Amino acid sequence: MIETARTISISIARPSAQVYGYLTDPANMAEWASGLASSLEQVDGTWIGLTPAGRATIRFSPRNDFGIADHWVSLEGQPEIHVPLRVIGHDGAAEVLLTLLRQPGMDDDAFARDADWMTRDLARLKQVLESHPARPVPSGRDGRIDYVEFLGPDLARMQDFYAPLFGWQFTDYGPTYRAFSDGRMDGGFSPAANAIPLVILYADDLEATERRVTAAGGRVVKPIFAFPGGRRFHFVDPAGNELAVWSER
């Protein structure tokens, strides 16, 4: 039976968000993808690279919440080649899976050579990410609204209202916190007299973001503090809106 596809995987001892953020930035490909990226550059919004087979146009899947980091390679006069790439988080680390699809007319030797090549590239990816522990690696979420908290005195009553109304799923973290997911965005319920929702953004570098907020005229009302799952701070913008910023780091 002819092998039509082969999945090559590697474990990387870095948080999956960091690995995914690195992989989804095309500018980083020059550091690890030897077959595509030695001369990768963006021209009029299109990524162009020189491959052993000639000049190629490369397009990338948009960042998403599912760990998909696919790319497609187009060589002039040839069918577009799809390279499925996935990042799966596990126990604080990341599994990167690349599926090599056998191209029409490719013999066993050529398919094996491509598999060896992809294996070396993934090994290089692991080396790059693991050899620079202090290096900031973008998460792909920096500066984005990431979470929202609803405040109120009775968490059970709030769940009883939202669960049947919108089908939200809940996770109870004891008597003082209840998390929810609507299938697209996560959030939580926290007991407080103030019933104004709290919008929470994500930051790759929490301290740097706190400094930028202050420099821009914001007022930090709760300096950086730790909580189960990460750290965060709260600030008030010039209009008086209170927001929070959090990070896993």
| pLDDT higher than threshold 70 for residue 36 | no
- Work out the burial of residue 115: count CB atoms within 10 Å of its CB; fewer than 13 is exposed, 13-18 middle, 19 or more buried: middle
Domain boundary among 68, 103, 130: 130
Q: What is the pLDDT of residues 110-128, one digit of tens each?
A: 999 999 999 999 999 999 9
Domain residues for the domain of 91 are 5-130
- pLDDT given for residue 57 in this prediction: 86
pLDDT (mean) for 206-211: 91
pLDDT digits (tens, 9 = 90+) for 144-165: 899 999 988 888 888 999 999 9
57-80 in b/e form (b: 16+ CB < 10 A) is ebebeebeeebebebebeeeeeee
195-222 in b/e burial notation, b at 16+ Cβ within 10 A?
eeebbbbbbbebeebbeebeeeebeeee
pTM score of the predicted model: 0.55
Which pLDDT score, from 0 to 100, does residue 39 have?
64
* Structure tokens, 119: 């294996």
7 vs 79, which has greater pLDDT? Answer: 7
Distance linking the first and last C-alpha atoms of the chain? 48
Q: What is the CA radius of gyration of the chain?
A: 22
Instruction: Look up the CATH number of the domain holding residue 183.
Output: 3.10.180.10
What is the bridge-based pairing of β-strands 81-83 and 71-75? antiparallel
Of 78, 100, 130, the position where a domain reaches its end is 130
Query: Residue 209: inside a domain, yes or no?
Result: yes
185, pLDDT greater than 80? yes
Residue 65 counted as domain residue: yes
What mean pLDDT is predicted for residues 21-49? 77
Q: Are residues 150 and 125 in the same domain?
A: no
Residue type, 140: G
Q: How many domains does the chain have?
A: 2
pLDDT in tens, 63-82: 787 889 999 988 887 888 89
Domain annotation covers residue 77: yes
pLDDT recorded at residue 134? 46
The answer as to whether 79 is a domain residue is yes
Three-state DSSP state, 21: helix
Same domain assignment for residues 112 and 158? no
Residue 89: pLDDT over 50? yes
Query: Does residue 126 sit in the same domain as residue 150?
Result: no
Residue among 195, 174, 199 nearest 186 (CA):
199
Q: Let me know whether 125 and 10 are in one domain.
A: yes
The reply to whether 24 and 64 lie within a common domain is: yes
